[in-house]
Structure formats: structure tokens, C-alpha cells
Amino acid sequence: MQSALALFALAAVAPLSASALPATATAAASSALPTATSVVSGLNALARAAGKLYFGTATDNTTPEFTDPTYLSILENYNQFGQLTPANAMKWMYIEPEAGVFNFTLGNQIADLTEEYGMVLRGHNGVWYEELPGWVTSTDWNATGLAYAVQRHVSGIVGHYAGRVYAWDVVNEPLNDNGTMREDLFYNALNTTYINIALEAARAADPNAKLYINDYNIEYVGTKSTAMQNLIKQLQSEGVPIDGVGMESHFIVGEVPTTLVENFQAYEALGLEFAITELDIRMELPATDELYEQQKQDYYTVVDACLQVSVCRGVTVWDWTDKYSWVPSTFAGYGDACPWDANYTRKPAYDGIAIAFEGQSI
């Protein structure tokens, strides 16, 4: 397989030739100016030209997608993706399946890929109430025992990848939608101190990684976002290291919040950076042309909101093709949430992202 970086470099300096580019590029090759959606200007290239660190994607090497050559050939195209998040590989059940016993095989595969192609790596995640191994969920923890387990887990994973990760989702989804703390096993044994323990362990293990808390329904002005800002203020007042907030952004077509920018600015005012970490915009099936057009507008709106706030570092989609999206199995009756369809054809949503990064209006 030709290296994506080599292809990108070639395309950037040489006149386009049909032999060097996929068949879809021939139209661009015959016209003088590339269009918003030309092969040369992939989404990561456009994001970087717009001053962002990356446009990236989640990818799941715990599933068959990693044995699909067409999937991999697009995933490995730096022109399209400058950042990867392992959708599952670094989660607790995979990476520390037994107490104190780490298995980095799957995580390393993604980390190695990012290095091979010059991509940014986001670590995902440190402490989350889901995808925990049995030894964590079945133990009747006291505070001392769980504090030790959290500290060992976060130190172990962040330390292993030290120097290779741009940002870690150290704490994932700590809040309920009504703004109260999620009463998971961590909270029940340790109250909010598990967050302090995790963040401090992460900072000690990799002083250069940006430390994030990641959650959903905090992307817009509302009770849960206010609660997240209060949690951040509490951590800051205690001197706990916190650098950023991950805005998951699992949205519904036609229902993208209107207060994204205003909300993002509130995080900027706290001295934080942030990122769009898990973007997808699902529609109720069956899809229609109208829904695809609305989805294009919606992707534009989210990317444009990131562009309007300088401390928004980048945008990550929660996998890029409908073929492997988590949406249909999670939200009954919904799907088609990604910028590429299940046959790897770009949807209008792709154009919405490209147009936003180009600074054009839609």
C-alpha cells in the first residue's frame, strides 16, 4: 500500500496525475482549481489550514473493521485524518483485564499507527463506569482499596504511553444529565476524590499530556454544562491538574444545539482548552435527501463552532463510516450518522465539514 503521507506530499507539490490519485480525483485533476471536496484538500488538511491541530476519528481494532483493507486505506490517509482515538482498545476491560496485569497489545496497535502516519493520539479513557473488567465490578471496594486501584490503573496506562499521547480523557462521563455526580462504583467509594486521584496520577505519569474530562450533553448551555464548569472550578481551587474538556457531541439531525459557541466560550474563560471528541449526527431511518441536507448543515454548524473559539483544538468523529458506526446498535431506529456512508462514499455531511474548515458559509 502506498503511504498516505507520501501521497499527500506528492499531491501537494506535483501536478495531479491520474495514476497517483484514486479514480474519484480525475475530475479535480482536469480543472484548474481544487474544489472544497477535492481529494487534495482532505478534512485533516483543511482543519490544519484553518489553524486546528487535527481532524480525526475514533477507530475500533477490537472489531472486524481492522481487517477491512478499504477501511484501513482511508483511515491511514493523513490528508483525511490527523488524529486517532481508540474507540475501545484502551478501555479498562481491555487494558487491565486482571488486577495489576496490563495488556497493551491493542492500544499499541493504534499508537503505532499514529506514529507511522504522523497523527495525533488521544488516549481514551482512564476512569469510566462502563467497559470495566469483572475484577473491578465484582469487588466490594473500600475507599483505600479503590483509590489504590484507580491510581495504579491511571499511572499504568498513562505511563506506558507517556510522550506519545496529545491528550487523555482521564475521567469519562462523571455527571448525570441533571448535573449531579453519577453514582457509579468510583463515586460510591470515593465521592469526587476519584477524579482528583486519577488526574494527579495522570499528570505524574506524563507531565506533557493534556488532561481532559470528557462527557456528553455539556456541549450546550444548560444544567449539565454548568455542573461541569462547577466541577472544573472545584478542581482548579484544589490545585488538581485539569487542562481540557471533551465535548462528545453525539447529536441528532435537526437538533444540533444553538448555544455551542456561547457554551464553549465559558470553558475558554476558565482557562481550559477543549475538543469535539466523539462527533456523530444520527438520523431516524429511513434516510431521505432532506435529512442528508440537514445533516450537512448540522456538521457545518458543529465544525464552525469549533472554528469560532481558538482553544478548540480539533474535531474527532466517532468513526467515519456508517459501516462501523456504534449508532444503530445503541440508538434503535437511528443510523447514518457519519460523514461517509457504508459503501465508503462521501455524504453531503462530508461537504458540510469541508466547507466549514474552508471558512465559507453554507
Interface with ligand XIL (CB under 6 A):
60, 87-88, 172, 214, 248, 278, 326
- Which cell goes with 329? 446498535
- CB nearer ligand XIL, residue 28 or residue 279: 279
Phi-psi region of 194 (alpha: psi -120 to 50; beta: other; left: phi over 0): alpha
- CB nearer ligand XIL, residue 38 or residue 114: 114
Quote the CA–CA distance of 76 and 4 in Å, as a whole number. 6
Rounded to whole angstroms, what are the CA distances from 337 to 51, 122, 345?
26, 22, 13
CB of 109 to ligand XIL, least distance (A): 16
- CB nearer ligand XIL, residue 87 or residue 279: 87
Handedness of CA 292, 294, 296, 298 (dihedral sign): negative
Question: Cβ distance 234 to 193 under 8 Å?
Answer: no
CB of 278 to ligand XIL, least distance (A): 6
CB of 332 to ligand XIL, least distance (A): 15
The residues assigned a catalytic role are: 173, 278
CB of 190 to ligand XIL, least distance (A): 20
Q: Per DSSP, what are the bridge partners of residue 54?
A: 314
Could you please report the per-residue DSSP string of 139-174?
A: S---HHHHHHHHHHHHHHHHHHTTTT-SEEEEEE--
Question: Cβ distance 11 to 42 under 8 Å?
Answer: no
Quote the CA–CA distance of 214 and 337 in Å, as a whole number. 20
Helix 260-269 vs helix 289-308: crossing angle, to nearest 10 = 20
The C-alpha cell 481508540 sits at 86
Would you tell me how many other CB atoms lie within 10 Å of the CB of residue 24? 12
CB of 250 to ligand XIL, least distance (A): 7
- CB nearer ligand XIL, residue 91 or residue 160: 91
CB of 133 to ligand XIL, least distance (A): 15
Instruction: Note the Cα 44 to chain centre separation in Å.
Output: 14
The C-alpha cell 495488556 sits at 103
CA angle 157, 325, 150 (to 5 degrees): 20
Phi-psi region of 259 (alpha: psi -120 to 50; beta: other; left: phi over 0): alpha
Question: Cβ distance 127 to 155 under 8 Å?
Answer: no
CB of 214 to ligand XIL, least distance (A): 6
For ligand XIL, the nearest residue by Cβ is: 326
Task: Using DSSP, state whether 120 is helix, strand or coil.
Answer: strand
Q: Assess whether the previous peptide bond of 125 is cis (omega < 30° from 0).
A: yes
- CB nearer ligand XIL, residue 90 or residue 356: 90
- CB nearer ligand XIL, residue 88 or residue 229: 88
- CB nearer ligand XIL, residue 82 or residue 126: 126
